[in-house]
Structure 1
């Protein structure tokens, strides 16, 4: 009987150990499968100031390897919008990668009035760090004002910091904010008389050798050449006349017309900064991104890396020449070629089917209002000086001083709380009085109070967009909405910032590993992007994310 008992125990231990080994093997295989299902590299592309209709307007001019490859092989969200205002570069890039809106991530504009220190601050400004790669202050930047994590941060945390993150853009904010707080580095272009790519001590204390090599090469100088149309200009029927009254152009050239001799124009247009407002700025960005892929060995192991690339020059060109210009059309035709070059490099060096790309924009842009007026569409320009005079007169007449308002910026009024208390004024009564006054001014469509933003839950309309852009600690006390297609800008060139379709409707393309082929007209919003990439990677959503993963995109 004793021998039988020992035999049973022995058999139990044998089968138990065997089962444990099988379970362990399955766990290892499952882990390997999970790892292999993830892309080796995620590339996030933001095209600064890209309206959705640029995809359709210029489609006949695109090749098969850039935008059209993403559309034909990937997923096209055709009804993608920003769900907040203001639609500016800083908030836009931040919202794409954090999966939420300024209400939570805190980047409420490019610049805003800081109520604590009583002065204007820049979204990426950081005086606690030093420039790397230049003696100028252009490198004193970091993401410290961004309150939440980005999807790149979450990937770094998930991979125990083994997965790399590199951010790249001509604009500092376009490189810094997408890359997040834990990035290995972010690099941006410093033009003027240097023409180099730089970073800050937030990331590292010196430039890596590959960046030094790039800066020492003649790549930047090679773009100081003639900018002419890529295709014959007479074929650019998707845009207006090259010679018109709606474009600024460059200093030193009488007309805003092709061709542009950038060598001759350099000295009167900020030195190497002249490249920013040409299609060549995007080509330079791709050159540097390719150098980063090689220099950082991105996508070379099983820990997913993240490369964020923002094409800033499309914004500079749009501001300078306007939505309907030949210059904008040529810039997108050339960008399409640059994307093709970029994707081919990824195919050859990371592996076709081993990387995932998404492409979107940080905002759109309005047609030049002067042009809209010329074709009898309601539009116009705002006279802020007249508003200021009327408002100051009102404040003096009603309260005996203008000091109860300490700042007016970003279509917001900021109260001097100490002055209100000194005068014994009720803040809610003052809020409403200022709303009633401002709404009487020309070209102001709506006015709301901070109290309304904090106490009412809006779900539709401009009110919901305002609320999503309203950060209780950083935003103002009264918020103003201007009339449609009315801007405070020169009558040549264009801008953005509103909650209207021309500013909110932007592309959203997914392409590569783990992405279905297809399209949808269902509405998607910018904060959906980061949770979608998180779901694809099987990692945590950014910690403040309010968007939802787009399951119909993921294969």
Structure 2
């Protein structure tokens, strides 16, 4: 009898607990999180080690705040080739690789039109805010949705999406197809943010007010180091042989008189290659939050912010430069300013933010050589000459190649057919030929990537970057430390760690505090945010939600 009573009591306790858990898990608040605003921050060309190399010089309110109060994925990588700006931004927000979203480069050879196309170029729209063709842009070449698109669909277009960047592609691709607007910076003699008729017929009043203000012009001033240059012990000598610098200045050394140098460096465009380009983006992003009433109600809005000046500075001065270090120390201050603004206007704990990069960068190969590390420069002109000679001697024609770009070779299939040459045979012979060329590390025929499934190494990354309709017939990769760009400044595009390993920080509502060395992929970001919001994953997403990041 006592046993029966005890069993009944246990059953009641268990049922009560189950009921409480059932109610808990059935409550809408626990099924998904509804931040008032999701902010995606992409830092163009940010290597992961910029977080750690400059850590002791950062303040407490920028990168350190994100790392210490948010979740730090320390082993985050791109899982495809090429690691460039447009594919990077598209992959972050779509949750898939170029194989799925179709943005296979910043520009690429179009096999249908037989011409080069730009990732965001669109002649069917007109510029808004300028008479320049710099405004003839849209996301129409991106084949899949972004998580910002899915949020728009989920909220019946009540949740807004605004994209902002110095670069057009850095604003347009993250914001997706359904964005309310995307704005990018047009320098030259104007120094304004512009858009296109894809989004609207005229600029909103708040954008016109910003453009009419003296904000941008105020940054045409001296660029000197934020702190005493002697304390910049995490970077190389200011005067060295590995930097381009600016026209009109004999050496690439601090300080830089930007007002004077702007006259010989395309006017306001000079600001892109300084930390002040990032400051302009922060200024404009805060105006966008105010002007568009972002994060002011319970329907989630999305703001995408891409800091592009870090990329321009990296290409100009190189990974190990004093200029790169100063740019990141100043960006740290910009992030602190931005986070404080979000705390004040949206509310601390009411927004969710992630920070990542669209790719990393290689140390200047000439610098690596000076440190006895294998590196070099691939001569594209000599490569084309050598390859054409091979085509003539092997197939009796030197005009069988339509285009070489983005480390891809496009064959003239009509001519191959007319000459009764088998496509696979030609591809295979070219692969065997290129295997012997200097600085070429890996080379594959498109047919190999179509018919085989790779699960590791460079081969997997090439396959993930290969789009069957848009990519070339032959794909090749350089040896570590090798680029085909100029002999000064840094470059990127490979599947090696210096290009693939980038930061990934989650912060704010619904995010745990912590870190992991578990490998994560750039394509996991969009499903993670989608899972947080309880919305559909982007329609082509192949990444997986990082469940350990979320509360």
> With structure 1 as the length reference, what TM-score do the two structures score?
0.94
Quote the residue 2:137 is aligned against. 141
1:453 aligns with 2:446: no
Matched ranges for 1:37-436 at <5 A: 37-436=33-432
**Alpha-carbon distance in 1 for matches of 2:510, 2:60:** 21
Quote the residue 1:496 is aligned against. 492
Distance 1:36 1:102, change over 3 A: closer
Q: Deviations over 1:49-70 (max 9, x none)?
A: 0000000000011111100000
Once the 2 structures are TM-superposed, how far is the Cα of residue 46 of structure 1 from its aligned partner?
Answer: 0.2
Q: Does the aligned pair in 2 maintain the 1:450–1:478 contact within 8 Å?
A: yes
Once the 2 structures are TM-superposed, how far is the Cα of residue 33 of structure 1 from its aligned partner?
Answer: 3.8
- Aligned pair partner of 2:471 in 471, 475, 494: 475
Q: Does the aligned pair in 2 maintain the 1:36–1:302 contact within 8 Å?
A: no
**Alpha-carbon distance in 1 for matches of 2:243, 2:400:** 40
Higher mean alpha-carbon deviation, 29-38 vs 440-449, is at: 29-38
Distance 1:472 1:36, change over 3 A: closer
Q: Does the aligned pair in 1 maintain the 2:99–2:468 contact within 8 Å?
A: yes
- Aligned pair partner of 2:522 in 503, 526, 533: 526
- CA RMSD in angstroms comes to 1.3
Gaps of 5+ in 2: 1-21
- Aligned pair partner of 1:551 in 541, 544, 547: 547
Once the 2 structures are TM-superposed, how far is the Cα of residue 497 of structure 1 from its aligned partner?
Answer: 0.3
Please give the secondary structure, in 1, of the residue aligned with 2:41. strand
Once the 2 structures are TM-superposed, how far is the Cα of residue 398 of structure 1 from its aligned partner?
Answer: 1.5
Once the 2 structures are TM-superposed, how far is the Cα of residue 34 of structure 1 from its aligned partner?
Answer: 6.3
Once the 2 structures are TM-superposed, how far is the Cα of residue 488 of structure 1 from its aligned partner?
Answer: 0.9
**Alpha-carbon distance in 1 for matches of 2:255, 2:495:** 35
Once the 2 structures are TM-superposed, how far is the Cα of residue 388 of structure 1 from its aligned partner?
Answer: 1.1
Q: Deviations over 1:283-311 (max 9, x none)?
A: 01000000000000000011100000000
Please give the secondary structure, in 2, of the residue aligned with 1:521. strand
Q: Does the aligned pair in 1 maintain the 2:32–2:534 contact within 8 Å?
A: no
**Alpha-carbon distance in 2 for matches of 1:326, 1:99:** 34
Quote the residue 1:466 is aligned against. 462
Please give the secondary structure, in 2, of the residue aligned with 1:552. helix
**Alpha-carbon distance in 1 for matches of 2:163, 2:219:** 22
**Alpha-carbon distance in 2 for matches of 1:127, 1:456:** 37
Gaps of 5+ in 1: 1-25
**Alpha-carbon distance in 1 for matches of 2:368, 2:267:** 33
**Alpha-carbon distance in 2 for matches of 1:426, 1:492:** 42
Please give the secondary structure, in 2, of the residue aligned with 1:522. strand
Q: Does the aligned pair in 2 maintain the 1:228–1:260 contact within 8 Å?
A: yes
**Alpha-carbon distance in 2 for matches of 1:52, 1:233:** 23
Q: Does the aligned pair in 1 maintain the 2:45–2:314 contact within 8 Å?
A: yes
1:507 aligns with 2:507: no
**Alpha-carbon distance in 1 for matches of 2:451, 2:360:** 30
Once the 2 structures are TM-superposed, how far is the Cα of residue 30 of structure 1 from its aligned partner?
Answer: 7.3
**Alpha-carbon distance in 2 for matches of 1:467, 1:524:** 18
**Alpha-carbon distance in 2 for matches of 1:383, 1:222:** 41
Once the 2 structures are TM-superposed, how far is the Cα of residue 37 of structure 1 from its aligned partner?
Answer: 3.6
Higher mean alpha-carbon deviation, 485-494 vs 192-201, is at: 485-494
Please give the secondary structure, in 1, of the residue aligned with 2:472. coil
Q: Deviations over 1:465-523 (max 9, x none)?
A: 00000000000001111111111111111110000000000000000000000000000
Q: Does the aligned pair in 2 maintain the 1:353–1:512 contact within 8 Å?
A: yes
Q: Does the aligned pair in 1 maintain the 2:108–2:118 contact within 8 Å?
A: yes
**Alignment size in residue pairs:** 529
**Alpha-carbon distance in 2 for matches of 1:388, 1:418:** 21
Once the 2 structures are TM-superposed, how far is the Cα of residue 124 of structure 1 from its aligned partner?
Answer: 0.3
Q: Deviations over 1:117-141 (max 9, x none)?
A: 0000000000000000001100000
Quote the residue 2:13 is aligned against. none
Once the 2 structures are TM-superposed, how far is the Cα of residue 39 of structure 1 from its aligned partner?
Answer: 0.3
Q: Does the aligned pair in 2 maintain the 1:43–1:309 contact within 8 Å?
A: yes
**Alpha-carbon distance in 1 for matches of 2:486, 2:478:** 16
> With structure 2 as the length reference, what TM-score do the two structures score?
0.95
Please give the secondary structure, in 1, of the residue aligned with 2:193. strand
Please give the secondary structure, in 1, of the residue aligned with 2:547. coil
Quote the residue 2:16 is aligned against. none
Quote the residue 1:4 is aligned against. none
- Aligned pair partner of 1:538 in 497, 515, 534: 534
Q: Does the aligned pair in 1 maintain the 2:86–2:119 contact within 8 Å?
A: yes
Runs of 4+ in 1 over 3 A off after TM superposition: 29-37
Please give the secondary structure, in 2, of the residue aligned with 1:219. coil
Distance 1:311 1:199, change over 3 A: same
